[in-house]
Structure 1
Amino acid sequence: MPGPSKGATIFSWVLQIIAVAIFAMAAIPKLTGDEGSKALFEVLGAEPAGRYGVGVMEIVAIALLLIPRTVVFGSMLSILLMIGAIGAHATKLGFSIDPVALGHPEALKAAEGPAMFAMALAVLIANIIVLMIRRRQIPLLGSAKTHATETA
């Protein structure tokens, strides 16, 4: 079962490291009780359980993305997390964070603007590409596809 080319593997690792860096920047404030994170999850109606849950899942995604055998699981988890983040922006937070409109002018000052949405979109796209590059490593799907190709 041949894997991705060397160039594709390197590109995958670059995308994985970018996703890991963004997740680390996002998870640490959630898990340490940063006022901005608390304010965001209050707006979402999920403070504190949602904040801790998402923070822990981001740490799990980091670990999975850094272990070669679990990269596809990390990518799948990352995609699900980013669909949730983009959904939160589309429904309650807005694509460009406005601290005053959300009722937390001081706590959300650092989150002002479209950067959080842009990072969520970047992580989503990066992990879709990683999953495409490593599609043969996806349990059941990857092995079935390879088996079908070998028998044809």
Structure 2
Amino acid sequence: MLKIINLDIHNEKALKEVNEIFQRTWNDSIEESLKKHTGYEGFQCILLQIEEKTIGFAYGYSSVPGQYYHDLLHRHLSPQDYESYLTDCFEFVELAVLPEYRKKGFGARLTNCLLNQTPHKNAVLTTQYENHRAKHLYHTLAWVTLDDAFIPRDERYVIMAKKLNK
């Protein structure tokens, strides 16, 4: 049975499952970032489970002035794009699905479910320029590319945004 549930941030087992999925996806840990982000305004994280096994997750939070990434995007975007997309905005931070469950629509399902839960009018995300699968997924879900030459660290990223019709 397939179900989507909200993450209980006090459930250490669920937090460990999220970290394991992230490690299998990106060969890195998300534990420290996730714990920090749970304290952000508007934090939401959903888990996709099949028969009690967590196979994917998505999370984000309200994007507000004073946050590192919000301010970084603000400096990079045009005043028009900032006003259009980064006000009343949900920052879509992470999406990960275990490799054996990809290409089955689970990423789209997690994305849509998470965005449907947010009260915000806009959403923004960044993904690696070379991550063609992610960019394709987001484009099919009506995200638009605002900039494809964003370099916040040592790698090129794409800034994408979406109007949420709220």
- The answer to whether the superposition gives a TM-score over 0.5 is no
Larger radius of gyration: 1
TM-score relative to the length of structure 2: 0.30
The structure in which a higher percent of residues are helix is: 1
TM-score relative to the length of structure 1: 0.32
The structure in which a higher percent of residues are strand is: 2
